[in-house]
């Protein structure tokens, strides 16, 4: 009888924006423990992430979060096979905290270091639990900082097909929420009030950037909402304070419908272009129920039906499970970083 192979345990660390997260994942799939310390309360009064505040909060929390992941996972440092960290893209002052912690542990514990692209990790969050998927796949990653479409052939090298030329989809949700005086983060707040609104009430623009383009632009729709509330070129009075809940709900629902419409159309176009058999959906905005439903409908209604894999809601927003899970594939491929690893603002 051959001895059972010990699964590879990876400690993942994530600090690219406003969540300080750590997780221990075995064999790329089994979540031994995951912890996310959210900074939402610190940033909400500014209506967005303030980099300096994010960086300080990561420094305060990073030790505690890593220690908690390891102790709750009931592993010791000897059971950890590698340390993985998201080193790009993100806020440099935030990334540097996770990268420094990961390099320190890698050196002190003599464990291999694995560098992870945060967006590629978001793709992984849609499939970390799956045994196999039919390829090629199109991956749509929609977050606060990015909106990107990928041709996904392997976990190691997703190929970028298109991305936003201005605001990310999540950023548009957050900014429109600020205009509508809804709480931060805007995505969940808009989704909640939009349930009471009519998505056909206002026809906000859908920027497609040309019939064949796989890039996105969401700054126009944000401005359209602003002008709707404040008059063209902001020359009118701010009507928000005098609007009743129904009118705000109609604006939120109509805005959400326009964003979802663009995301779904571009994903369909990308799927057609690469002959995708599968669609993957991840990132914070992928927690949005209307988007999840619309992408599912698109997958079911195309001539050759596509299978959709969506990240579980708790792993749509930033977390370290996706980092540790993707790192497993890099571990198997022997793709390690060294102590010169640095954070990178872009990918
Ligand atoms: O992936 P994520 O946690 O951070 C980045 O990598 O940027 O995404 C955060 C974004 C925020 O803009 C937030 O408003 C948006 O995801 N978001 C949502 C929902 N939940 C979070 N957007 C729409 N609907 C939601 N339910
Ligand atoms: Zn993210």
Residue 17 CB–ligand 1 contact under 6 Å:
yes
Residue 90 CB–ligand 1 contact under 6 Å:
no
3-state helix, strand, coil split of the chain in percent (to 5) is 45, 20, 35
Task: Tell me which residue of 63, 64, 85 sits closest to 15, measured CA to CA.
Answer: 85
* pLDDT the model gives residue 301: 94
* pLDDT the model gives residue 1: 45
Report the residue among 185, 310, 345 best suited for mutation to probe ligand 1: largest number of ligand atoms under 8 A from its CB.
185
Helix (H) or strand (E) holding 99: helix 92-109
Task: Tell me which residue of 202, 304, 317, 178 sits closest to 251, measured CA to CA.
Answer: 202
Q: Cα(298)–Cα(346) distance, rounded to whole angstroms?
A: 31
Residue 43 backbone phi and psi in degrees, to 5: -100, -15
Q: Cα(116)–Cα(108) distance, rounded to whole angstroms?
A: 20
CA of 14 to the centre of ligand 1 (A): 16
Query: In this structure, are residues 171 and 216 in contact, taking their beta carbons and an 8 Å threshold?
Result: no
* pLDDT the model gives residue 2: 53
* pLDDT the model gives residue 237: 86
- Bridge pairing between strands 113-117 and 278-282: unpaired
Report the residue among 18, 49, 285, 323 best suited for mutation to probe ligand 1: largest number of ligand atoms under 8 A from its CB.
285
* pLDDT the model gives residue 57: 98
Q: Cα(171)–Cα(147) distance, rounded to whole angstroms?
A: 10
Residues of the chain with pLDDT under 70: 1-4
Task: Tell me which residue of 289, 16, 292 sits closest to 140, measured CA to CA.
Answer: 292
CA of 140 to the centre of ligand 2 (A): 12
What pLDDT, in 10s, does the model give residues 96-149? 999 999 999 999 999 999 999 999 999 999 999 998 899 999 999 999 999 999
Residue 267 CB–ligand 1 contact under 6 Å:
no
Atom of ligand 1 nearest to the CA of 146: 7
What pLDDT, in 10s, does the model give residues 328-347? 999 999 999 999 999 999 87
DSSP conformation letters of 199-255? TTSS------SSTT---B--HHHHHHHHHHHH-GGG-S---GGG--HHHHHHHHHHH
Atom of ligand 1 nearest to the CA of 185: 14
Q: Cα(251)–Cα(198) distance, rounded to whole angstroms?
A: 8
Q: Which residues pair with 106 in a beta bridge?
A: none
Residue 147 CB–ligand 1 contact under 6 Å:
no
Atom 21 (ligand 1) nearest CA: 284
- Bridge pairing between strands 147-152 and 137-142: antiparallel
Q: Cα(314)–Cα(31) distance, rounded to whole angstroms?
A: 13
Atom of ligand 1 nearest to the CA of 289: 26
Residue 174 CB–ligand 1 contact under 6 Å:
yes
Residue 145 CB–ligand 1 contact under 6 Å:
yes
Task: Tell me which residue of 322, 267, 332 sits closest to 127, measured CA to CA.
Answer: 322
Q: Which residue has the tokens 């960086």?
A: 55
Atom of ligand 1 nearest to the CA of 168: 12
Q: Which tokens go with 192?
A: 């909640």
Task: Tell me which residue of 327, 342, 278 sits closest to 29, measured CA to CA.
Answer: 327
Report the residue among 187, 189, 259 best suited for mutation to probe ligand 1: largest number of ligand atoms under 8 A from its CB.
187
Residue 285 CB–ligand 1 contact under 6 Å:
yes
Q: Which residues surround ligand 2, an ion (CB under 5 A)?
A: 143, 318
CA of 26 to the centre of ligand 1 (A): 27
* pLDDT the model gives residue 32: 98
* pLDDT the model gives residue 131: 86
Task: Tell me which residue of 200, 132, 145, 181 sits closest to 18, measured CA to CA.
Answer: 145
């Amino acid at each position: 009888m051959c001895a059972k192979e010990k699964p590879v345990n990876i400690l993942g660390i994530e600090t690219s924006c406003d969540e300080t997260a750590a997780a221990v994942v075995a064999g790329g799939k089994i979540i031994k423990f995951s912890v996310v310390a959210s900074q939402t309360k610190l940033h909400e009064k500014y209506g967005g992430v303030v980099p300096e505040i994010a960086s300080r909060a990561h420094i305060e929390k990073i030790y505690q979060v890593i220690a908690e992941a390891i102790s709750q996972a009931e592993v010791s440092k000897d059971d950890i096979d590698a340390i993985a960290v998201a080193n790009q893209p993100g806020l440099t002052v935030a990334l540097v905290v996770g990268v420094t912690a990961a390099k320190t542990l890698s050196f002190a514990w003599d464990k291999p270091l694995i560098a992870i692209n945060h967006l590629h990790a978001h793709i992984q969050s849609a499939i970390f639990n799956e045994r196999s998927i039919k390829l090629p796949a199109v991956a749509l990653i929609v977050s606060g900082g990015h909106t990107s479409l990928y041709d996904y052939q392997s976990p190691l090298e997703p190929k970028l097909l298109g991305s936003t030329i201005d605001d990310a989809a999540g950023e548009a949700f957050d900014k429109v929420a600020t205009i509508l005086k809804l709480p931060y983060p805007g995505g969940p707040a808009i989704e909640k009030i939009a349930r009471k609104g009519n998505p056909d009430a206002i026809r906000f623009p859908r920027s497609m950037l040309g019939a064949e383009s796989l890039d996105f632009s969401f700054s126009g729709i944000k401005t359209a909402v602003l002008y709707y509330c404040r008059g063209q070129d902001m020359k009118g009075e701010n009507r928000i304070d005098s609007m009743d809940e129904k009118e705000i709900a109609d604006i939120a629902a109509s805005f959400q419908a326009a964003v979802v419409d663009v995301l779904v159309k571009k994903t369909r176009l990308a799927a057609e272009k690469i002959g995708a058999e599968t669609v993957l959906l991840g990132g914070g905005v992928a927690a949005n129920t209307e988007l999840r439903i619309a992408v599912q409908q698109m997958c079911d209604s195309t001539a050759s039906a596509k299978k959709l894999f969506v990240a579980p809601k708790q792993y749509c927003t930033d977390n370290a499970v996706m980092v540790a899970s993707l790192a497993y594939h890099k571990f198997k491929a022997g793709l390690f970083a060294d102590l010169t690893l640095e954070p990178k603002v872009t990918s």
